[in-house]
Structure 1
Amino acid sequence: MSSTWEAIGLYELGMGRIHGITGNGLHGFDSVALYNFTLEHLAVTAYASPGFWIGQMGLSPLPLNFSETISSPSLISALKDDGHIPSLTYGYQAGAPYRKTKIAASLVLGGYDLARASEPLTIDINTDMSRALTVGLQDIIVTDSLNGTLSLVDNERILAPIDSSIPEIWLPKSVCDRFESVFGLEYHERSGRYVLRDSARDRLRGLNPTLTFTIGTNAVTGGNTSLIQIPYAAFDLQAGYPIFANATNYFPIRRADNESQYAIGRAFLQEAYIGVDFENGIFNVSAAKWDDLEADIVTIPAADRDSEVARGQGISGVLVEEKGAHDALDPAPELTGVTFHELPAKHGDSELEDIVTVPELGREDRVHELHQDCVR
């Protein structure tokens, strides 16, 4: 329906394939407007599959290559090239709607929000960009569970990418089995998800367990670590259509068939803040801060600027500075006068994937892959 749409073609969607999500997308070029400016001729994909139920804004710096002659820069690269942001960096936290203040999500392009980030753990970006933000999930300790306090990770060696494109946390079956025991979960075979009866949910709400994730650098043991505490409320979710016919209590973990499926999705990012610096090849993970809800945006200069100061003020250096020390981080000269905005977004309770139906909850609904002519 867009007057500026220029179709490229119908292609299989690569994202989600590793987790069993398949489908096609109608790719094309179009104008993309953000606030008071427009980026021209960027690649946009219209989903032609119910496996992808929500829109996504990719933040990889890699270009999209459709053929030897047809390609498009990524969104974040186009923003930098056009002078709208100073560098290929971003900060993200998925929001916490269960907190009394109902904190919205935060996405900052070209910098990060100092008010959201605590002391960071700095990690090298993986050379495999499909697993760019890989961390070592060294332990998960639960307190006040149905079985008291215990570790949910035994001898499992879990290297997993932090992946905001998926909602759940994908773990070895042995770890999921321990979750099942301490939270009174039931595995629903058809959906591949863990559900809870109302009685179990009520009991957990009364106990109010806390999970503490020990996140290490890209190693399964040892080294520097960061502790991320996540209250039960962050996992107290309901899923409806297209997952279930009716609203159903579920817990956002999934069984991984193999190591390649291990992943840490948005459920984790409700209580964690990440800062990603593609230019210096590093990213940070820290517990999200809640004591100051006023955004304090820090811009990160480009690593390719001919300046020793710029090279020393990437994410790894800035995040450990005292509050206020970032005042000297002026944007590049050609960006003077440009305002850097935080891009807020709402975080819902059920940003999910495939369609299944719990038989006892209602009739089965059928969703068919859309024909190419039906894609809008």
Structure 2
Amino acid sequence: EGNDGPWWSLLLRIGTPGHNVRVLANIAGQETWAVTPSDCSGSDLDNCPDEQGGTFEVNSSSTWVPSATIWNNTGIYALGDYISDLLGINAADTGPSLNHTVVAGITTKKFYLGQFGISPRPTNFTVMNHNSTALTFSMLKSNNFIPSLTYGLNVGSFHRSKTIKNALCSLVFGSYDRSRFFPNDLDFSFGPDDGRELTVAITSITKDSQGFTQSADLLPTPIIAALDSTRPSIWLPTEACDLFERALGLQWNETLNLYLVNETWHEALLRLNPTVTFEVGNSYSGKTVSIGMNYAAFDLEVSSPIVERRTRYFPLKRAANSTQYTLGRAFLQETYLIANYENRTFKLAQARWD
């Protein structure tokens, strides 16, 4: 799903009666955002509500309590109706449900699909005498649905799902799935910034020589980057993007600010199937973990309303400065993330598909 993927979504049930919506896991946020019918007004999509994961009409829920406009800790201002309502973790009425969770019916065009924030941070209300409200993750713990503020996540791999059953998005609250990753002994510490606390040092990025005359180094100097599942692309210094361009034959489209891939070069990259390996650690020195991405993980498509016709693109972006360095959803396809918010540590490992 999505207009910059495709991606695997999660199914939630919001309100009374329950509205089923499909959303993306958001490791940088803590709220649940669902697309509203008004977000589809004026859309040129043939089936906008379904294309955007299903819609939630705030006023149609008998259990909603109006709240306020919220500035959330990720620094993203979303225009919409923030409410307190009933949230179900899956579509079945018998699944876990939580009362008085923060839900936003969004009308902004910044997000094509809704978001399921899985951080346990509280949301701070700026008006209406609210101080803060606990979110889904922490409410699961306080209601004894889960034993700890730990989650395990793989966002799924759409291209693998055609042949592999367990390539769907996997999210476990309170624990993790040992079968979904290759274990390692490296623990990462949280960074200081809320919303970007899951940070890693990228010490090197290399491309193998498979199908090419030689391997290539793609990162001039180590950098610190945040993990962020709301962004599809990998944001790197311009110098690194230049090296990607030369190594993989990419061409930057100034109008769309995207690396578009035509069908001829796409077929060539499929045949060559290069692997790009990221070495990530807690700091610029010491232990690292290798995360490998073959070309299929970079083979994404962008569609309306970004472009008129569905077009292939390579999910790499030129960062304006160090605050934008990000490893987005494309990178997270190939990883398994275990975040422990009680110890403020996390693990990152190569995802396993067998």
Q: In which range does the TM-score fall when normalised by the shorter chain?
A: 0.7 to 0.9
Q: Whole-Å Cα distance in 2 between the matches of residues 110 and 85 of structure 1?
A: 5
The structure whose RCO (Cα within 8 Å, separation 6+) is larger is 1
Whether the 8 Å contact between 1:239 and 1:249 is mirrored in structure 2 is: yes
Tell me by how many angstroms 1:106 deviates.
0.7
Whether the 8 Å contact between 2:98 and 2:139 is mirrored in structure 1 is: yes
Q: Which runs of structure 2 are paired with 1:147-226 in the superposition (5 Å)?
A: 148-155=214-221, 157-217=222-282, 219=283, 221-226=284-289
CA-to-aligned-CA distance 1:263-315 (integer Å, 9 cap, x gap): 10111111111100011111001111123xxxxxxxxxxxxxxxxxxxxxxxx
Match of 1:109 in 2: 173
Paired residue type of 2:82: H
Paired residue type of 2:220: D
Match of 1:251 in 2: 314
Q: 1:37 to 1:216 in 2, by over 3 A?
A: closer
Q: Which runs of structure 2 are paired with 1:1-376 in the superposition (5 Å)?
A: 1-11=60-70, 15=74, 17=76, 23-35=78-90, 36-67=95-126, 69-70=129-130, 71-99=132-160, 100-101=163-164, 103-120=167-184, 121-143=186-208, 144=210, 148-155=214-221, 157-217=222-282, 219=283, 221-291=284-354
CA-to-aligned-CA distance 1:79-138 (integer Å, 9 cap, x gap): 100111111110011212222316111110000000012223211111322221100011
Q: 1:57 to 1:97 in 2, by over 3 A?
A: same
Match of 1:338 in 2: none
Q: Whole-Å Cα distance in 2 between the matches of residues 110 and 208 of structure 1?
A: 37
Tell me by how many angstroms 1:45 deviates.
1.0
Match of 1:332 in 2: none
CA-to-aligned-CA distance 1:155-179 (integer Å, 9 cap, x gap): 2x31011111211111111111111
Alignment size in residue pairs: 284
Tell me by how many angstroms 1:9 deviates.
2.8
Q: Which structure would you say has the larger Rg?
A: 1
Deviates further, 105-114 or 36-45: 36-45
Paired residue type of 2:245: E
Tell me by how many angstroms 1:10 deviates.
3.7
SS at match of 2:97: strand
Tell me by how many angstroms 1:12 deviates.
5.8
Q: Whole-Å Cα distance in 2 between the matches of residues 174 and 146 of structure 1?
A: 21
Paired residue type of 1:277: N
Whether the 8 Å contact between 1:145 and 1:182 is mirrored in structure 2 is: no
TM-score by structure 1 length?
Answer: 0.72
Whether the 8 Å contact between 1:13 and 1:24 is mirrored in structure 2 is: no
SS at match of 1:160: strand
Whether the 8 Å contact between 2:259 and 2:314 is mirrored in structure 1 is: yes
Tell me by how many angstroms 1:248 deviates.
0.5
Tell me by how many angstroms 1:242 deviates.
2.2
* Uncovered stretches (5+) of structure 1, i.e. residues with no partner: 292-376
Whether the 8 Å contact between 1:12 and 1:25 is mirrored in structure 2 is: no
CA-to-aligned-CA distance 1:186-219 (integer Å, 9 cap, x gap): 21223221101211111111101001110111x2
Tell me by how many angstroms 1:142 deviates.
0.5
Whether the 8 Å contact between 2:237 and 2:325 is mirrored in structure 1 is: yes
* Uncovered stretches (5+) of structure 2, i.e. residues with no partner: 1-59
Tell me by how many angstroms 1:67 deviates.
3.2
Whether the 8 Å contact between 1:184 and 1:196 is mirrored in structure 2 is: no
Paired residue type of 1:265: G
SS at match of 1:181: helix
What RMSD over aligned residues (CA atoms) do the two structures have, in Å?
1.8
Q: Whole-Å Cα distance in 2 between the matches of residues 91 and 101 of structure 1?
A: 20
Paired residue type of 2:172: V
SS at match of 2:235: strand
SS at match of 2:83: strand
Paired residue type of 1:80: K
Tell me by how many angstroms 1:29 deviates.
0.8
Paired residue type of 1:109: F
TM-score by structure 2 length?
Answer: 0.76
Match of 1:373 in 2: none
Whether the 8 Å contact between 2:153 and 2:172 is mirrored in structure 1 is: yes
